[in-house]
Structure formats: C-alpha cells, structure tokens
Amino acid sequence: MAKTYLDELVEYPAKVIQKIASDKNCVGLLVNKAFATITEDDSDKVLDDFVFDFQYVDKTTQETAAYIWAELEIPDILTRQIKNTKLYVTVACHKQFMKLDHKVFPGVMGNRRDNLVRYIDKLLNFSDIFGIGPLALCSVQTIASPNEFTVKELEYTVPDFNMRELDK
C-alpha cells in the first residue's frame, strides 16, 4: 500500500492497542482475572471487545466492563518537516465495575479505572514506539462520560516528521 503523510492516524493507535493487549496488568483488569492467570485468549478477548481506535460504547451494553480508546490528533503542523501529534488514551469504566475484588487483585489499591490509567501510563510514558522523540504525558483528566460510565483521559504529545519522501 502506498504511504501517505497521515499514516500515523492508523498506525499509532494500532501500536498502542497492541501494547495494551499484551500487558498482563491491563488485560487482567479488563477481563477481571488475576494477573498471573492471563492467557493469549484473554488478550484476544481484549482486542475484540474492550480496546478500540475510536470512542464508542453501545448504549445498550448489557455487560458492566471497562473500555479503552486510543486516538491520534495532529493539532500543529510546525514546519514542512515537523508536526506535533497528540495521542489520547481514554479509559471508560462502568460504575458497577469500578470496585476491585481484592480476592482477584490482592494488594492492588484504588479502583479499576485508575489502575488501568496507571498501567497504561507505565507502558507509554517516555516510550519511543513512534515519532522522532519519546511520548510525553501532558495531562490526565476526568472527562464527561456516557451514562453509567466514569472516564479518564491521558494526553501524550510526540513530535513527528511531517512531509517525508513517499513511495511512488
């Protein structure tokens, strides 16, 4: 497939989603299983049901669950060579799914949403999985949410190339 100047809109969220689905802490919190018991099937379930590259929760969702969305924006084109990209990773957790079962997660303090936020940041902050510099956390905010959910959003920034030689 031919390259474009905006391939990162697709590539970067896909890399983030793969990284999250490969992490036993994130997968365990999403499927409600002890970290040590996570299998490849659990990671596949996360990819199929809980982690997306767009913000969406069906209003008719019957399952109390947590969801993660990874999206990319390009708010600044600094020069012909450099642009700023912003990665938004949003964690939405159903209010009835917030409390952690301490038999499943012994020693883990806090709620499910905030633990997902901290494990995601551990995976991403200062990583060099894309761009021309490390990801840098800019903010963590509680944002408006769909009914019955509570939502936190992590915002990362990374400088990236703008116009580059494309395949012809």
- Please indicate whether residue 151 or residue 168 has the higher confidence score (pLDDT): 151
Residue 10 confidence (pLDDT) above 60: yes
Would the pLDDT of 56 be above 60?
yes
* Mean pLDDT rounded to a whole number for the chain: 88
Cβ proximity of 88 and 155 under 8 Å: yes
Name the residue ranges covered by the structural domains of the chain. 8-161
Q: What is the DSSP string of 76-144?
A: EE-SSSEEEEEEEEEEEEEGGG-S--TTTSTT--S-HHHHHHHHHHHHHTT--SSSSS--EEEEEEEE-
Q: Which of 72-81, 108-117, 132-141, 149-158 has the lowest mean pLDDT?
A: 72-81
Higher pLDDT, 160 or 164: 160
**The CATH number of domain 8-161, selected from 3.30.2000, 3.30.70, 3.30.360, 3.40.50:** 3.30.2000
Residues in the chain: 168
d(C-alpha 86, C-alpha 88), whole Å: 6
pLDDT in tens, 11-49: 899 999 999 999 999 999 999 999 999 999 999 999 999
pTM (2 d.p.): 0.90
Average pLDDT over residues 102-117: 97
**pLDDT higher at 3 or 126:** 126
* Residue 142 clears pLDDT 70, i.e. is over it: yes
- Strands 66-77, 82-94: pairing is antiparallel
Q: CA distances (Å), 76 to each of 20, 83, 84, 161, in order?
A: 27, 6, 5, 12
Residue 110 has pLDDT above 80, yes or no: yes
**Residue 76 · residue 83 · CB < 8 Å:** yes
Mean pLDDT (whole number) for 157-165: 71
Give rounded-to-5 percent helix, strand, coil for the chain: 30, 30, 40
